[in-house]
Amino acid sequence: MKLKDIVRNAAIYLGLDSVKNYIDNVGTATAETLKEVDLLTNLSNLVIGELASAYVPMLYSETETAENGKIYFSALSKDPVKITAVKDGYGNNADFKIFPEYIAVKDGSYEITYRYIPSNYNLTDDLGYKQKDVPAPAFSYGLCAEYCITHCRFEEAVAWRKRYVAAIEKVLAPKNRVMKGREFI
């Protein structure tokens, strides 16, 4: 899922035809349209950051090699917020200790899984979320709420925020489990 898909959906919801046309490469963009696209991109990053920090964490796994019993956070691709798992080369949980600048483990290769807060995305970037994790409309609802707040359309903002929260609650709701059928004797 790309950021431009979220911005495009929000533009449709909000009736911003010039922004939708810009994203669809239809017609020419005015300075006002580019300003709106930039605002929507910045607000999207705000919504994604809120979602990643408070509701649905972004997880990333990568393999790193420990030298002198240390794997420095600076060697990781993204800035970790919380280390959720460290596995050795055989897929077993490894003993580790976290220090301010590194993870202490025995020397060797490890798969590290961690939560992170994403850096700002550009319009053409892929998000760290998959469509199955968080559906695109949920992001667009949050974006519409933020946009309405910046334009002093508070009643609309409340309505969009309710839709956003409902969509996120649906994502966070426990999945239905199938119970074994009862038998009568």
In the prediction, which pLDDT does 28 show? 78
Residue 128, classed as helix, strand or coil, is coil
Cβ(56)–Cβ(168) below 8 Å: yes
In the prediction, which pLDDT does 180 show? 63
Burial of 52 (0-12, 13-18, 19+ CB in 10 A): buried
Tens-digit pLDDT string for the chain (185 aa): 899 999 999 999 999 999 999 999 887 789 999 999 999 999 999 999 888 888 888 889 999 999 999 999 999 999 898 999 999 988 899 999 999 999 999 999 999 999 988 889 999 998 888 777 788 899 999 999 999 999 999 999 999 999 999 999 988 877 665 556 666 66
Cβ(19)–Cβ(6) below 8 Å: no
Compute the distance between CA of residue 57 and CA of residue 83 in angstroms, rounded to an integer: 12
Paired tokens of 166: 């409902």
H helices of the chain, where? 3-14, 17-23, 31-54, 136-150, 154-172
Residue 129, classed as helix, strand or coil, is coil
Compute the distance between CA of residue 61 and CA of residue 78 in angstroms, rounded to an integer: 10
Cβ(151)–Cβ(35) below 8 Å: no
